[in-house]
Chain A
């Protein structure tokens, strides 16, 4: 058996009684006690009245000024965000724009690139060089000069030939 007094037991359960949360047995016990105890009956009445008064408090309508102030605030926030983003991206965007201008200048107004040699042109150039060297050699011997073949070959003919050989495979592929 519970050791609490009937008044304590009742007062601990008044709120649950008002909300209909007691079992039928508990409900009967509380009502029976309240019928014989003026203090608990008054307490129960106070509790009921308070709940009634609370539930009578009106739901309110939000003033239109709140919506207007909210719209203004959102507008200002968007402006601030835009300005912040503009500041954050201004320097990189400016740098990117300068780079784009430079790249565009080179892309659309490039240095003239010499046309590629054809194998035929290279072969003709080789023949002209060899003819020139042969002519120089012949002239050298007819004039009796002392420039020797073993000087002309390694120092003039071979470097020219090497250069031509370097060009030829690229052009002929």
Chain B
């Protein structure tokens, strides 16, 4: 349990951050983080520490996609609800900033895959192109092209 606990402590915030911005709400982010760490316990402990980060990101991304698929199936038979507020309102955060961030986070959840994960990983999580390339198993130049495309698409979404 020692190694597993250490890996959980090292990676859980990163997984949670990724899932939160990908899914746009805390509840899904918690479920996905738990699912990813459970899969680490179940399957992933055989790999070395260097490979774990990329593997976890890949699993997190797939778990997000699975959750979105399930949600779309669920929403096809159940009435849709308004998305919950993403950012918690705190006195320290200006109302305009809150609004801006909400818009940005909402726009992120409307980006297509893999643009969404690449923008999150590069701009919010500050991963290198090489790390993104390994995690998503995409060529490095493709990652760059998708990143630029994703930012352009985000700008367009924010202007709608």
A interface residue numbers (CB < 8 A to B): 15-16, 19, 21, 46-47, 50-51, 53-55, 57, 59-63, 65-67, 69-70, 73-74, 77
Q: Are B38 and A54 in contact (CB under 8 A)?
A: no
Contact of A54 among B20, B42, B124 (CB under 8 A): B124
Q: Are B125 and A59 in contact (CB under 8 A)?
A: yes
Contact of B155 among A47, A61, A63 (CB under 8 A): A47
Residues of A within 8 A of B17 (CB): 59-60
Pairs A–B under 8 Å by Cβ, sample size 29: A16-B144, A16-B148, A19-B144, A46-B155, A50-B104, A50-B151, A50-B155, A50-B158, A54-B119, A54-B151, A55-B123, A57-B104, A57-B123, A57-B124, A59-B124, A60-B17, A60-B29, A66-B12, A66-B16, A66-B33, A67-B12, A69-B30, A70-B37, A70-B38, A70-B41, A73-B34, A74-B38, A74-B41, A77-B42
Q: Are B21 and A57 in contact (CB under 8 A)?
A: yes
Over the window 20-49 of chain B, the binary record of Cβ atoms lying under 8 Å from chain A Cβ atoms (1 yes, 0 no) is 110000100110011001100110000000
The answer, yes or no, to whether B115 is at the interface (CB within 8 Å) is: no
Task: Given A66-B34, A74-B38, A74-B41, check contact A59 B13 (CB 8 Å).
Answer: yes
The answer, yes or no, to whether B53 is at the interface (CB within 8 Å) is: no
Residues of B within 8 A of A63 (CB): 16, 26, 30
CB distance from A54 to the nearest CB of B (A): 4
B interface residue numbers (CB < 8 A to A): 8, 12-17, 20-21, 26, 29-30, 33-34, 37-38, 41-42, 100-101, 104-105, 119, 123-126, 144, 147-148, 151-152, 154-155, 158
Q: Are A47 and B151 in contact (CB under 8 A)?
A: yes
Contact of B105 among A55, A57, A66 (CB under 8 A): A57
Measured in the bound complex, the distance between the Cα atoms of B6 and A67 in whole Å is 12
A-B contact count (CB 8 A): 82
Residues of B within 8 A of A60 (CB): 13, 16-17, 20, 29
Q: Which residue of A lies closest to B149 (CB)?
A: A15
Residues of A within 8 A of B34 (CB): 66, 69-70, 73
Measured in the bound complex, the distance between the Cα atoms of B125 and A15 in whole Å is 18
9 A-B pairs besides A15-B152, A51-B151, A65-B30 with CB distance below 8 A are A16-B148, A50-B155, A54-B123, A54-B151, A57-B21, A59-B13, A60-B20, A66-B12, A69-B30
Q: Are A50 and B154 in contact (CB under 8 A)?
A: yes
CB distance from B44 to the nearest CB of A (A): 13
Task: Given A15-B147, A57-B124, A70-B8, check contact A62 B15 (CB 8 Å).
Answer: yes
